[in-house]
């Protein structure tokens, strides 16, 4: 752990798209983000309740979306590998690439 700044906290998912935490730092970051986003989102909605302010709801929505985007980019930088759609650990693009499939004829 001498180079803690470059250590990967997430690993690519085996099925689907994205990454999953693989270290305690990744789990802590994900947990803190979830709690903070939940508190901010609910308190923002409660403060807008009854105001009828469409602009307030737009600002709330953009803020929540911005937070999710920020965390997604943070997780991408801390992921050991590329984010891609996967099935059983193999990229979909590789599964369906006819050049990479051997012994299969065109239908």
Residue 60 lies in a domain: yes
Residue 103 lies in a domain: no
Q: Domain residues for 76?
A: 19-83
Residue 13 lies in a domain: no
For residues 90 and 21, the answer to whether their CB atoms sit within 8 Å is no
Position 80 pLDDT exceeds 80? yes
Residue 4 lies in a domain: no
- Reported as a pLDDT band with limits 50, 70 and 90, residue 107 is very low
Q: Determine the pLDDT at residue 36.
A: 93
11: nearest Cα among 72, 69, 81, 71: 81
Residue 52 lies in a domain: yes
How many domains are there within the chain? Answer: 1
Please write the tens of the pLDDT for every residue from 52-78.
788 888 888 999 999 999 999 999 998
* SS3 labels along the chain: CCCHHHCCCEEECCCECCEEECCHHHHHHHHHHHHHHHHHHHHHHHHHCCCCCHHHHHHHHHHHHHHHHHHHHHHHHCECCCCCCEECCEEHHHHCCCCCCCCCCCC
Residue where the block lists tokens 């270290």 = 23
């Amino acid at each position: 752990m001498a180079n803690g700044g470059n250590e990967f906290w997430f690993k690519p998912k085996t099925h689907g798209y994205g990454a999953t935490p693989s270290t305690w730092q990744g789990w802590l970051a994900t947990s803190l983000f979830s709690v903070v986003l939940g508190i901010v989102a609910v308190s923002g909605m409660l403060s807008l309740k009854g105001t009828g302010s469409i602009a307030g709801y737009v600002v709330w929505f953009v803020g929540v979306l911005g937070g999710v985007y920020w965390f997604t980019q943070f997780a991408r930088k801390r992921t050991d590998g590329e984010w891609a759609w996967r099935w059983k650990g193999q990229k979909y693009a590789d599964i369906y690439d006819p050049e990479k499939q051997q012994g299969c004829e065109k239908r």
